Structure 1
Amino acid sequence: MPLYIRAKAVIPLSAALVSKGMGLGAVMALIIGSAGASLTEVILLKSLFKNKLLFAFLTVIFSMAVLAGFFYQYIF
């Protein structure tokens, strides 16, 4: 589960990771995953939603992050 990454910090962090050799697809997956399913957000949503809905939410976020990463890596 990704840790919370602030929106202002994700661009410089992504640029640093790419400059160190990380693939663009992996960076895209990190951006989507950290924005969509951070630990703090999951704790908050757990208090609002039932476990089944929370599991569905996390499954969609992680699936979209992985798929976007693969497609982005394939395109670029």
Structure 2
Amino acid sequence: MAKHILDEFEEKARAGDGQFAIAYALLRLADSHEKLRGDLCFGQTATSRPGVLEKIGIEMAELATAVRNLEA
């Protein structure tokens, strides 16, 4: 079975190959960036969990409702 490119790069990086170490670090950075982007962005479907910004919006709406209820 073929190895995943990230596993292959990690193996060579840990063996001391500096070029593969840089490539491995960049691949890991790209993966982390994609995960962070997903966490910060709004949910893409009705079944996905809300992103951080969407969650803040939900909390702000609930806070605004609570303040309106205080005024009544």
User: Scaled by the length of structure 1, what TM-score is found?
Assistant: 0.39
- Greater helix proportion: 1
Select the structure of larger CA radius of gyration: 2
Looking at both structures, which has the greater relative contact order when contacts are Cα pairs under 8 Å and sequence separation is at least 6?
Answer: 1
